[in-house]
Amino acid sequence: MIKTAVKLFLLTFILVTATAGGAAAKGYEPVSSSEIQETVFIDRMDVRDSVYVEIDPIQWYEGEAANKVFREREGDPEMTEAPDGYYIVNDKTDTEEVQIADNAEVVLQLYDKTGRMEDTEINWNEQVSLGTLEKAFSRSDVLDMTAFPYHITIKDGKIVKIVQQYIP
């Protein structure tokens, strides 16, 4: 829980700095869910004979579903809505290492392209290579990619699709 709070604080700071206070929400569309998709934090990426990630499964809620879970779990009569319209539940501390398929589809919203904060901007649903994702995870001085949730699709034991979740 503390790990999630720290990640969310850092991400909020970065997004406010990078997007001048919330203008980035234009163009955002929630990721469609499916039975073979789960939402996770990617705690670590390791490149060996292939690319492996250590995932921490979470529950991601948006809109009224987020408000409902927020009210149930937080119990604060003064706050009846989830801040920023989303709520993350991360009750389990177990992580799992999963291989990413070499031809996995990778979709990012925001990542460090140049090593300079002023060049960081949101590009909605930008299709990138697995190599670009590896490079983004290797740098954390401008933007820490472990702070974002990801919607992943697993088939035959490998991740075949990764979609970075935008956090307002």
- What tens digit of pLDDT does each residue of 50-99 get? 999 999 999 999 999 999 999 999 988 899 999 999 999 999 989 999 99
Q: How far apart are the C-alpha atoms of 37 and 31, rounded to whole Å? A: 10
Residue 105 counted as domain residue: yes
Residue 149 in tokens: 């949730």
Q: Provide the residue range defining the domain that includes 108.
A: 2-58+98-164
**pLDDT of 42 over the 80 cut:** yes
pLDDT > 90 in the chain, percent: 71
Residue 119 counted as domain residue: yes
Residue 122 counted as domain residue: yes
Whether the CB-CB separation of 46 and 52 falls below 8 Å is answered with yes
Q: Name the region of 26 (left: φ>0; alpha: ψ -120 to 50; beta: rest).
A: beta
Per-residue pLDDT, averaged over 125-132, amounts to 97
Tell me, what's the pLDDT at 18? 40
Residue 76 counted as domain residue: no
Residue 50 counted as domain residue: yes
- How many structural domains compose the chain? 1
Give residue 19's pLDDT band: very low, low, confident or very high (50, 70, 90).
very low
Average pLDDT, the chain: 86
Residue 36 counted as domain residue: yes
Residue 80 counted as domain residue: no
Residue 73 counted as domain residue: no
